[in-house]
Structures are given as structure tokens and as C-alpha cells.
Amino acid sequence: MAQSASLLSRIVASSISATVLAGKMIRDVMSHGGLNIVEKGKNDLQTEADRCAQRCIIASLSRQFPNITIIGEEESSDCDVPSDWVVTEADQEVLKLKLPADLENIDPKDVCVWVDPLDGTSEYTQGLVEHVTVLVGVAIGQKAVGGIIHQPYYKDTESGMLGRTLWGINGVGFGGFTPITPPPGKRIVTTTRSHSDSNVQAAISALQPDEVLRVGGAGYKVVLLLEGKAHAYVFASKGCKRWDTCAPEAILCAAGGTLTDFYGEHYPYHAETTYANSRGVLATAPSEIHQWYLDHIPQKVKQQLEQ
């Protein structure tokens, strides 16, 4: 690996490679059966694929970057990880990026990496595999700066190959996808398909959408914003966590979009922060006026998130 590349570029480049292997593991667990589902809480599942993918990503990153903080969704130990689960490759395009001065020399102590090894577990267990993503978000201080969204089941129409990796570094660039503007003159809202409640519904109704796309995972919903399939991702619930939104927020911002809570505030992503995105998640495509959505959310919906 080019040691001359900056720490941020090296973390993002290595994360890209780690998510590709994690994605293969997710496909392998599904094709071999034996999901070994554990119920972590109400409406909150973990499978063998979540566990393996997390061990792969955390072992790969912690060995290369021992001085940064890495927080994963699943409880796991990176001891005794098989050597072929430890990725040492890195994306060459990202290693070559020229970063602005403020991102060039960051202190490893200021870096917190948020790992969601399998986002959309409910959908994965139900066979809705296209909703599944692997998420690695890189925060510097409080800010989500770098993000990787890997889609293990994305099928390239020409080659038929499975897997696609989208990445972005806020203020620097993005890759792995071409942003598409959602249809003008329409409002398509995407939201949860497995964690809905009356407050989630009230927020959506207030926006008077032409269409509502109920899909799994924070990663996949932000992919829909980037692909021009939806204008906004609206989730007026406390259930989402920092590992769900760090990577999507960084990529969306890099492409010109916005992700905040229901008060328009960015969540902080430093290592000492709380995990719950308790003031909801509102994300808008690059073409949208984020403030319009904030202004149209009823006060009652916002107050519900405060309780």
C-alpha cells in the first residue's frame, strides 16, 4: 500500500476492500443456509452473516489502524479470526486522491469508524437480499467524513457480477456510482418496511408524497436517493443508530445531499457519543431543499421523538 497516502485515504481505501470480502461472506452464509438467527431485542435480529462480516471488517481495519476507534454494531471479538478473513488490500483509486489540507494530517485519536456489517438484517432473513448493505463510516471529530456502502447483491447488468461499492469523502469526491436526479414535479419518499409506527406514518403523511417506497436498511434508502429513485428518506423514530447513518451521511453529503435529525441537526459521530439516532433520520437527495422537508414535519411528530 502506498504509505505516502494520508490516513483518511488509507482507511477509506482499506474499508472498500474489507466490505467486498464481508459482502462475499454474507452471500456465502445465505447460500449455505444456517443463518443461526439470534434475537437481540424486539424487532432486532442478528445472523451468522452479521457476525462474520463484522469480524472480517474489524479485524482487517484494527490490524492496519491500531490507534483509531472502531465501533461495530455487533458484539464480537477480533481474536481468532481466520487469516483469510483479514483483508490487506486497498482501493488504488482512493489511495491516489489528493485531500485538502484539513483532511491531510489527521490525528488517529480523532478518528472513529462506525461499522454496520449487515444493514437490513430483517430483510436478509426474509430473502429480500437487494436491500442488504455493508456500511463503514469514518468520522473525524464529530463529523461523518468518509463513507462506504457495499451492496453484496447488486448485479452488474453487463458482466452479471454481484457486488457494488459506493464511497464518498465529504468535500473531496465519490465513486462507484453515478448520481441520478429523482423525477422533478413528484415527491417520492422512502422509509422503513419493518420498523414503522404511528409517528413514522404521521411524518410521511404530512409530506403528502406521490409514492412511498418501504424498503429495508438505512444504506439502501440512501442508495435510492443517490440513484434518483426517491427524493427523501423519512424515519421519525428513535430506532436507527450511528452505525446506520455515518457512512450514508458521508456519501450523501459528498454527492450534495443532506442527512440530519428532525430538527435539522447533524448527529455527532465521535467515539464518546451515544449510539441512538433518537431524534429521527431525515435525508434528502442532492436536488432537494432539505429545509422544505424540515418545515413540513408537524411539531407533534418532532415532540414525539423527544419523549
Which residue minimizes CB distance to ligand AMP?
239
Binding mask 62-81 for Mg ion (x = CB under 5 A): -----------x--------
- Is residue 249 within 8 A of residue 91, CB to CB? The reply is no
CB of 56 to Mg ion, least distance (A): 14
Q: Does 198 contact ligand AMP by CB under 6 A?
A: no
Binding mask 12-31 for ligand AMP (x = CB under 6 A): --------------------
CB of 249 to Mg ion, least distance (A): 13
Nearer to ligand AMP, 5 or 281 (CB): 281
50 as an active site residue: the answer is yes
Q: Pick from 175, 190, 86: which is nearest to 131 by CA?
A: 190
Q: Does 237 contact ligand AMP by CB under 6 A?
A: yes
Interaction partner, residue 237 (ligand AMP, Mg ion, none; CB < 5-8 Å by kind): ligand AMP
How many CB atoms lie under 10 A from the CB of residue 198? 10
Q: Does 244 contact Mg ion by CB under 5 A?
A: yes
CB of 68 to Mg ion, least distance (A): 21
Which helix (DSSP H) or strand (DSSP E) does residue 11 occupy?
helix 7-32
Q: Does 130 contact Mg ion by CB under 5 A?
A: no
Query: Could you give the CA distance from residue 31 to residue 166 in angstroms, rounded to a whole number?
Result: 24
Beta-carbon contacts of 25 under 8 Å, excluding residues fewer than 6 positions away, are 49, 52, 53, 56, 85
Query: Could you give the CA distance from residue 282 to residue 218 in angstroms, rounded to a whole number?
Result: 11
Tell whether the torsion through CA atoms of 7, 10, 16 and 22 is positive or negative: negative
- Is residue 251 within 8 A of residue 258, CB to CB? The reply is no
CB of 196 to ligand AMP, least distance (A): 8
Catalytic-labelled residue, pool 91, 116, 119, 121: 121
Q: Does 249 contact ligand AMP by CB under 6 A?
A: no
List helix spans (H) across 137-217.
Answer: 198-206
Which of 195, 266, 270, 290: binder of ligand AMP (CB under 6 A)? 195
Q: Does 249 contact Mg ion by CB under 5 A?
A: no
Residue 204 is placed in which grid cell? Answer: 410521511
Q: Does 116 contact Mg ion by CB under 5 A?
A: yes
Residue 208 in 3-state DSSP? coil
Residue 194 in 3-state DSSP? coil
Nearer to ligand AMP, 240 or 305 (CB): 240
Q: Pick from 169, 208, 166, 171: which is nearest to 188 by CA?
A: 208
Binding mask 77-116 for ligand AMP (x = CB under 6 A): ----------------------------------------
Q: Candidates 76-84, 90-98, 232-240, 293-301 — which segment interacts with ligand AMP by CB under 6 A? A: 232-240
Nearer to ligand AMP, 194 or 284 (CB): 194
Query: Footprint of ligand AMP on residues 113-172 (CB under 6 A)?
Result: 119-120
Beta-carbon contacts of 267 under 8 Å, excluding residues fewer than 6 positions away, are 144, 242, 245, 249, 260, 261, 273, 277
Q: Which residues pair with 136 in a beta bridge?
A: 115, 148
47 as an active site residue: the answer is no
Binding site for ligand AMP (CB under 6 A): 43-44, 119-120, 192, 194-195, 216-218, 237, 239-240, 244
Q: Provide the annotated active-site residues.
A: 50, 121
